Amino acid sequence: DTAVSQTPKYLVTQMGNDKSIKCEQNLGHDTMYWYKQDSKKFLKIMFSYNNKELIINETVPNRFSPKSPDKAHLNLHINSLELGDSAVYFCASSPSPTVLNTEAFFGQGTRLTVV
Amino acid sequence: DAKTTQPTSMDCAEGRAANLPCNHSTISGNEYVYWYRQIHSQGPQYIIHGLKNNETNEMASLIITEDRKSSTLILPHATLRDTAVYYCIVRVVGTASKLTFGTGTRLQVTL
């Protein structure tokens, strides 16, 4: 069973389109995250949700809107896609945002290519 | 979160121990040291973490200096599958926190 699963794995789309990436975790964790890894391989956090509530929102354009329908799901919707949005997006989960004696589990990533 | 400094790359012969250093000289008392790795095209994978005592699990050992300003991740018998980028991260306890990844160390295990 995959602990953190993302769909789709690959996404190629044109500039200006709107797209969504879905993430689900079956670990029973309270906290989920979106990270972005750019072409230079830097991994940066974008958002974090705890029990469906936004708790971390880094400096991310408003075109990116996360949605957490329940604590097992955290989706990422991107409006008006730009070339610079091309990256690998990783979803992750952890038991809690504050009890740090825990590990985070990452999905396999979604490679987004904007053309 | 405290900044970490790691060598850009290292090589290790298969079967030998890989010792990956990390400097975190500005670490504060409530920060843990975490290690993750990212094998090519995969999501990051947790390896180990510690506060001040040395830690060991089935994957690796973590040695933290007494002043906590540096640490070393030890893979006791490196294999080709351990080729990856290894990230040393320090993280504050007790707040809504995040893993802040640096540039990591690219470990190449060779025959």
pLDDT in tens, chain B (111 residues): 668 999 999 999 999 999 999 999 999 888 899 999 999 989 999 999 999 989 999 999 999 999 999 999 999 999 999 999 999 998 876 566 677 888 999 999 999
| Cβ partners under 8 Å of residue A4, min gap 6 | A23, A24, A25, A27, A91, A92, A93, A105, A106, A107, B43
If you measure CA to CA, which chain B residue comes closest to A10?
A: B41
Range of lowest pLDDT (A20-34, A39-53, B44-58, B67-81): A39-53
Average pLDDT of the residues in A56-82:
93
Please give the single-letter amino acid code of residue A46: M
Q: What pLDDT is attached to residue A78?
A: 97
| Cβ partners under 8 Å of residue A98, min gap 6 | B94, B95, B96, B97
At residue B11, what are phi and psi to the nearest 5 degrees? -115, 150
If you measure CA to CA, which chain A residue comes closest to B94?
A: A98
Which of A97, A103, A109 is the closest to B43 by Cβ? Answer: A109
The answer to whether the Cβ–Cβ distance between A106 and B91 falls below 8 Å is no
Q: Indicate the pLDDT class of residue A99, thresholds 50, 70 and 90.
A: low
Burial B61-89 (b: 16+ CB within 10 A, else e): bbbbeeebebbbbbbeebeeebbbbbbbb
Average pLDDT of the residues in A57-83:
93
Residue B84 tokens, joined: 């990856």
| A52 to chain B, closest Cα gap in Å | 14
Enumerate residues 20 to 79 of chain B having a beta carbon within 8 A of any beta carbon in chain A: 32, 34, 38, 41-46, 49
Please determine, for residue A98, whether its predicted confidence score (pLDDT) is greater than 70. no
Average pLDDT of the residues in A59-87:
94
| B91 to chain A, closest Cα gap in Å | 8
The answer to whether the Cβ–Cβ distance between B100 and A105 falls below 8 Å is no
| B33 to chain A, closest Cα gap in Å | 10
> Considering only CA atoms, which of A50, A53, A102 is closest in space to residue B91?
A102
Count of beta carbons in the 10 Å neighbourhood of residue A5? 15
